[in-house]
Amino acid sequence: MSNKKLSPSLLKHPIHFLALGFGSGLAPKAPGTFGTLMAVPLYLLIQPLNIENYIFVVLLVSLAGIYICDKSASMMGEHDHPGIVWDEFAGYFVTMIAVPFEWVWVLLGFGLFRLFDILKPQPIGWLDKHVKGGLGIMVDDLLAGVMAAVCLHLIIWLTQYV
């Protein structure tokens, strides 16, 4: 991945503004973590939706992300620059599907998603290396979100019996 510093002037373009997570992707260190941090308040806005509408928003964010990430990467001339963090938004939203609202789950979901996104266990790592374009940028984070969601729901279920 590139260490190429991105100019804040990129945020003037709507595609970069979205792809760079409203500026969170400009963080000099750990832009993915900062992107996921930016996803938390957005999650708080959509969390009250019923499950059908929540999933609709997640699908919309994910499908739009394929285009947004592809276009931004193409304009930057670099596939999946670390500053592109729209995929972190989508991945975190996937993690939080049908999770009851309690701060412990919001924070644990954050940690689990970052863990899977950073470690990229198989098949996430394979997808990250072999799928190109906007879908390639998005798919590894979406799958990290699925894996984090499964773990989070398992933990929630297990804690009911403790």
Mean pLDDT score, 60-69: 98
**Residue 33: inside a domain:** yes
* The total number of structural domains that make up the chain: 1
**Residue 121: inside a domain:** yes
What is the spatial distance between Cα 49 and Cα 23, in angstroms, rounded to a whole number? 26
What are the helix (H) ranges across 20-123?
Answer: 31-46, 51-76, 86-95, 103-119
Higher pLDDT, 80 or 70: 70
Mean pLDDT score, 20-40: 97
What is the spatial distance between Cα 28 and Cα 140, in angstroms, rounded to a whole number? 22
Q: Residue 2 above 60 pLDDT?
A: no
Q: Are 86 and 67 in contact (CB under 8 A)?
A: no
Distances (CA, A) of 58 to 29, 39, 63, 113, 119: 27, 12, 9, 15, 23
Q: Residue 122 above 90 pLDDT?
A: yes
Tell me the residue range of the domain where 95 lies: 8-159
List CB contacts of 26: < 8 A, sequence separation 6 or more: 6, 8, 11, 20, 83
**Residue 2: inside a domain:** no
Q: What percent of the chain has pLDDT over 70?
A: 98
Global pTM exceeds 0.85: yes
pLDDT of res. 26: 95
Q: How many CB atoms lie within 10 A of CB 77?
A: 9
pLDDT of res. 123: 94
